[in-house]
Structure 1
Amino acid sequence: MFAVLSTRRKALARVALVAAALAVAACEPMPSGRAPALDAGAPVPVALILPGGSGNSTDEMLARNLKQAADLAIADLQGVRIDLRVYNAGSDAATSAAMAKKAVDEGAKVILGPVFAEAANAAGVAVAPAGVSVLSFSNNTDIAGGNVFVLGPTFQNTANRLVRYAARSGKGRILIVHDQTPAGDLGARAITSAASRSGASVVGTASYPFSQQGVMAAAPQIAGQAKSAGATSVFFTADTAGALPLLAQTLPSSGLSSQSAQFVGLTRWDIPSATLSLPGLQGGWFALPDPGLAAQFNARFAAAYGEQPHPIAGLAYDGIAAIGALAKSGRADALGAASLTQGSGFAGVGGVFRLLSDGTNERGLAVAQIQNAQVVVIDPAPRSFAGAGF
């Protein structure tokens, strides 16, 4: 609607905003209080539920990349063997539930996937009685909890990182600017929640209809509100596929720029890379996984498979890495909730991450600034959960 996107960016938007695009089923997965026992010394049966099989080219590409990333992770494991079993379920919730139940009946001790929120929720409900955990590729925190964990990057995790950094940097008087959409509302709530725990304060909230006309009409009011509230930072929930480019153009012309208040983005401002050239975003902050580690994974993936990985392909690597690290202990209950949520977390392709008891996740993120159309890390991603930023 607002900007021209590459096919790769469209694929990312479809997955990364699944929290806003899907209505989650009413059923709640519940923990059974027990974990499936592992057979010490035997390969660990892991089910991988993929969005393949629907005929949709984007889903097929995503399914292929997720499987390839999982294979890379398995090859990297030492001291533990993984018996990876692939189940294609498209994006259908009922099919995903059936595949999850089939996988457990066939011996799976943990499920990796599905991608889409409704499908992951249905899979969790289907296998909860067996005590099997579902490590979904979704980022929809509405489905998290019980035996369902989300591996995808969440608004809350990003908001926590950026709000804390803003507070430490003297930019803690926050004006929230968000779309009048489910994703915009979710992002605004995440920023508000992060501020309540960080020493920052939300001095105002401004929203706009999700349209060009809506943004253009709201820009003068947003600029005026930032000035009257004494905002030292303006947090945007918009992404590069939507209102962000237009906000970057209209707000400075209305008197609000990154020189008068720090611009901060809850979404990735480096995808697509053309966004980095927008004059209105120069000096702006956003969060991203450790760029060095992410680049290493992308290079390895491209060398192995001759293509760049889908933006969320690394989640499959992370899931296998976590499962392998836990199974290596040799404990029969290694894949129980207590182990999955160990405080020290795991090493992923984009840095350290850990699963939380509420089914969400925490990831080590770097804070980056756009300087002369380039991404410059101004606060590195922590390498452990005792480091800065947590």
Structure 2
Amino acid sequence: MRPVGKRNVTRSILRHTSRNLARHLSGVALLALAACSSGGTSGPGGLAGSDQTVSAPNVGVLLPLTGANGVLGNEMLAAAKLALSKQSGTLPPPKLDIHDTARAGGAAQAMQAAIASGDGIVLGPLTSVDTASISPMALRAGIPVIAFTSDLAQARLGVWVFGITPQQQVSRLVDAARQEGRHHFAAFLPDTPLGHAMGDALVRSCREGSLADPLVVYHAGGSEAIRSGLATLSAYDSRVATASGQTTGPAQDLPEDLAAALSSASKASVKADAQSPGDPKASPPEQAAKATPSDTSSSTLSAPPFDALLLADTGLALKNVIDALKANQVCSSDVRLMGPGLWGAFAGKLGAVAGAWYAAPDPAARTLFVQQFSAQNHRVPKPLADLSYDAGTLAQSVYTATGGRGYPVDLLTQPQGFSGVDGAFTLTGDGQTVRRLGIFEIQSGGGARILPAHKSAAPAPGAS
């Protein structure tokens, strides 16, 4: 491989690396929107035993090389070729067996061809639907699959979901928020597949961390729905009543579990003796009409019943959410705002939520890959090329470890994992990929900076 010799190429690398990284999560997260839970449930064939290997060393690549996603597919193919072209000692690189999933017969036909060719491992396909269609065949044939989808419904032993998932992002955010002393989580999310994926991930992450179940509210997207939804989630009426010297319980029309959670959290945060709506002795205070944000815009309210809030909106809906946060006095001094990796694509415009976090790969690990790719292909790689390069690096590493004899499960899932351009990663026994993402913090002037690993930003209110 020849080194980068021209200044203009070097400048292009430096100029585009951070911008492309910021877009990386956007592309990966969009794959989750096409999620569909189907596919085979049979065992992983000859790969089930840790001492077994696939007899053929060939690496199958299943990508859309023509059609609507042809440009992206070819970019990912170029990255996989780069990773697999590196020779280790006297061992020649594995042979690539390339199949176009956009041709007649689709991914299923491409997988049949890979099986007929005796491929030992498959990199791809790109989407959840294609992954579901090839999984039964791959499992029956005992061929491990490193799929580029973000849909965890496709994960199982023998088929690894390699895309950066909402669960990975949310889990990293919850872990970082816990490190700075936050324990009461909530989410205000769009009623979309991505919103629900983020919400489900928050519930799961909180349970895995032995935290109370988070308050999760979904909205339809209109400005009024966003304003009223955030007022409900943040217990706005109760906080207004407390500030005016009144006591009140949660709104009577809330679901029972949400009302109970809001009531309990409100008592803990403001130490007010709020009346329960189920108490027969309770009576509504005089003139207990609901306040609106404009009624008390000059008053300072107590903190809402959570100290970390997960969001997932973008575009105009995100602007409406930001406006509603201000109106309902959900302040960054009390609450750590968290969002999707999609925010990285336009972090320069998010100064209004300074201090908010999102999780994404550390760009420092990507620099060498960008230089090598640019030297060979005379262009800066697209963000999703990272996935295929890392998958190729994984295959090359296992191929070398076995002396070119195959791709056994015990090496694919080795506890020490692998080093990739999107950071270190480990394949698990249930088909997932564990990644250590970086935490990025939005700055007041726009843009974001990555926080030092394992270091809290600032203590949460009341944290010891």
SS of 2:424's partner is strand
Aligned residues: 366
Match of 1:388 in 2: none
Distance 2:356 2:416 in 1: 31
Match of 2:360 in 1: 288
Unaligned 5+ runs, structure 2: 1-18, 240-265, 267-303, 456-464
Q: Deviations over 1:70-103 (max 9, x none)?
A: 12212345244121121111298x5201111111
Query: Residues 347 and 31 (structure 1 numbering): CA distance in 2 closer, same or farther, change over 3 Å?
Result: same
Match of 2:279 in 1: none
Match of 2:323 in 1: 249
Distance 1:243 1:301 in 2: 37
Query: Which stretch of structure 1 is more off in the superposition, 69-78 or 168-177?
Result: 69-78
Match of 1:84 in 2: 96
2:380 aligned with 1:308: yes
Whether the 8 Å contact between 2:46 and 2:141 is mirrored in structure 1 is no
Backbone CA RMSD of aligned residues: 2.9
TM-score, structure 2 length as denominator? 0.72
The one-letter code sitting in structure 2 at the alignment partner of 1:263 is L
Q: Choose which of 178, 181, 204 in structure 2 pairs with 1:193.
A: 204
Query: Which stretch of structure 1 is more off in the superposition, 255-264 or 302-311?
Result: 302-311
Distance 1:168 1:155 in 2: 20
Q: Which runs of 4+ in 1 moved over 6 A?
A: 6-12
Q: Deviations over 1:318-373 (max 9, x none)?
A: 11111111111226775122221111111111210011111011012111211232
SS of 1:127's partner is helix
Match of 1:74 in 2: 84
2:175 aligned with 1:164: yes
Match of 2:58 in 1: 45
Distance 1:124 1:265 in 2: 32
Distance 2:308 2:331 in 1: 10
Whether the 8 Å contact between 2:339 and 2:356 is mirrored in structure 1 is yes
Distance 1:29 1:114 in 2: 19
2:453 aligned with 1:380: yes
Query: Residues 136 and 186 (structure 1 numbering): CA distance in 2 closer, same or farther, change over 3 Å?
Result: same
Structure 2 counterparts to residues 31-42 of structure 1, below 5 A:
31-34=44-47, 37-38=54-55
Tell me by how many angstroms 1:122 deviates: 1.2
Distance 2:116 2:336 in 1: 53
Match of 1:354 in 2: 426
Distance 1:324 1:8 in 2: 24
The one-letter code sitting in structure 2 at the alignment partner of 1:376 is R
Tell me by how many angstroms 1:294 deviates: 2.3
Q: Choose which of 43, 46, 51 in structure 2 pairs with 1:30.
A: 43
2:140 aligned with 1:129: yes
Q: Choose which of 301, 305, 310 in structure 2 pairs with 1:235.
A: 310
Unaligned 5+ runs, structure 1: 1-5, 383-390
Question: Greater relative contact order (Cα 8 A, min sep 6): structure 1 or 2?
Answer: 2
Structure 2 counterparts to residues 261-300 of structure 1, below 5 A:
261-272=335-346, 275-300=347-372
Distance 1:374 1:10 in 2: 13
Match of 1:387 in 2: none
Percent identity, aligned pairs only, is 23
Match of 2:249 in 1: none
Tell me by how many angstroms 1:249 deviates: 3.4
The one-letter code sitting in structure 2 at the alignment partner of 1:259 is S
Query: Which stretch of structure 1 is more off in the superposition, 22-31 or 368-377?
Result: 22-31
Match of 2:71 in 1: 61
Whether the 8 Å contact between 2:25 and 2:342 is mirrored in structure 1 is no
The one-letter code sitting in structure 2 at the alignment partner of 1:99 is A
Query: Residues 306 and 358 (structure 1 numbering): CA distance in 2 closer, same or farther, change over 3 Å?
Result: same
The one-letter code sitting in structure 2 at the alignment partner of 1:160 is S
Distance 2:316 2:24 in 1: 14
Distance 2:344 2:217 in 1: 24
SS of 1:347's partner is coil
Match of 2:110 in 1: 99
Whether the 8 Å contact between 1:97 and 1:119 is mirrored in structure 2 is yes
Distance 1:163 1:46 in 2: 37
Match of 2:125 in 1: 114
Query: Which stretch of structure 1 is more off in the superposition, 102-111 or 120-129?
Result: 120-129
Distance 1:359 1:344 in 2: 16
Q: Deviations over 1:100-138 (max 9, x none)?
A: 111121121110000100101211212222100111001
Distance 2:389 2:81 in 1: 8
Query: Which one has the largest radius of gyration?
Result: 2
SS of 1:153's partner is coil
Distance 1:64 1:381 in 2: 37
Query: Residues 131 and 23 (structure 1 numbering): CA distance in 2 closer, same or farther, change over 3 Å?
Result: same
TM-score, structure 1 length as denominator? 0.84
Distance 1:29 1:245 in 2: 46
Match of 1:386 in 2: none
SS of 2:95's partner is strand
Distance 1:365 1:91 in 2: 35
Match of 1:385 in 2: none
Query: Residues 277 and 177 (structure 1 numbering): CA distance in 2 closer, same or farther, change over 3 Å?
Result: same
Q: Deviations over 1:152-201 (max 9, x none)?
A: 11122222211111111012211122222232122111111111222543
Query: Residues 78 and 332 (structure 1 numbering): CA distance in 2 closer, same or farther, change over 3 Å?
Result: closer
Q: Choose which of 324, 345, 351 in structure 1 pairs with 2:396.
A: 324
